[in-house]
Amino acid sequence: MTPLLRTLVLLLLIAATATAQEQWYRGYGRGFNRVPPRLPTTASYDGGFSFCRGMFSQWRREASGSGWSTDYPDADVNFSIRFAELTKVWVSKQPTGDPNHLVVPLTDDFLFNCPNLHMEDVGTLRFSDQEVPRVREYLQKGGFIWVDDSWGPEAIESWEHEIARVLPADEYPILDLPLDHPVFRTMFQIRRLPQIPAISHWRRSGGGTSERDVDSEVPVMRGISDRQGNLMVLMTHNTDISDAWEREAEDPEYFYRFSPDGYAVGLNIVLYAMSH
């Protein structure tokens, strides 16, 4: 984003925070992820937007990751709040007034109630034999998956191997997305993909952003498209966009440096998924 646009996003976020303190805000952003998953029921869907997170099994571990629950639930909650404040999209709420975010197992029928699915730390994922055709069916029927927060070549190669079991690479190649792709300008004009580190790495390294040193110096956005050219799977590697949402209330310096860009990318991607 240009400096002027980034300042505008920051002002919108600050103004929205003041309103949220009286309405939605519950002090999210402390990084607590020991929270049971909010699994969907028949009463979970009311026609509004629900942030859906995909639940999966791990076969390996990555430093500072926690599998499907990485950045959960604060990223899901905070993004939903900002999505309601900064767009005209109707965001579903719980009876408490909090966002109606959901965690969806990949073989669950409720998967098809989620137009887009968010997944993190997918370098540790291994699809089961039951999940492979289910995820393929979801994507071929118009679903959209965004995977975030995987760092370094080992994590990327592991994920690409797994998604190729769902969408064979000879039919559905993974391609880098150029900066003139519509996803970079759905709502905000994004001139580069920001590298956003986990707040723990940022503090420990004295402000560093590459979590795997030279192996993750360059953040990349890649995608898999259908035969009409619409993205089905979007991947943000060597960056943790979701941590800019999760930790926004924890450290003012981290918020000012990373959250405007993180929300701009997130809003663009989700709005693209809802409109293509």
Q: What is the pLDDT of residues 26-61, one digit of tens each?
A: 333 343 456 899 999 999 999 999 999 999 999 988
How many angstroms separate the CA atoms of 131 and 126, rounded?
9
pLDDT attached to residue 14: 55
pLDDT attached to residue 61: 87
The residue that leads in pLDDT, 77 or 6, is 77
Say if residue 212's pLDDT is above 70: yes
Q: What is the pLDDT of residues 105-135, one digit of tens each?
A: 999 999 999 999 999 999 999 999 999 999 9
pLDDT attached to residue 15: 52
Query: 41: exposed, middle or buried (C-beta count within 10 Å: 0-12, 13-18, 19+)?
Result: exposed
How many angstroms separate the CA atoms of 175 and 55, rounded?
25
pLDDT attached to residue 63: 81
Confidence of residue 7 (pLDDT cuts 50, 70, 90): low
Quote the tokens at residue 100. 């109606």
**How many percent of the chain have pLDDT more than 90?**
84
Helices (H) and strands (E) in the chain, counts: 7, 7
Say if residue 232's pLDDT is above 50: yes
End-to-end CA separation in angstroms for the chain = 23
Mean pLDDT of 182-210: 97
What domains does the chain contain, in order, with CATH numbers?
A: 3-275 (3.40.50.12140)
Confidence of residue 11 (pLDDT cuts 50, 70, 90): low
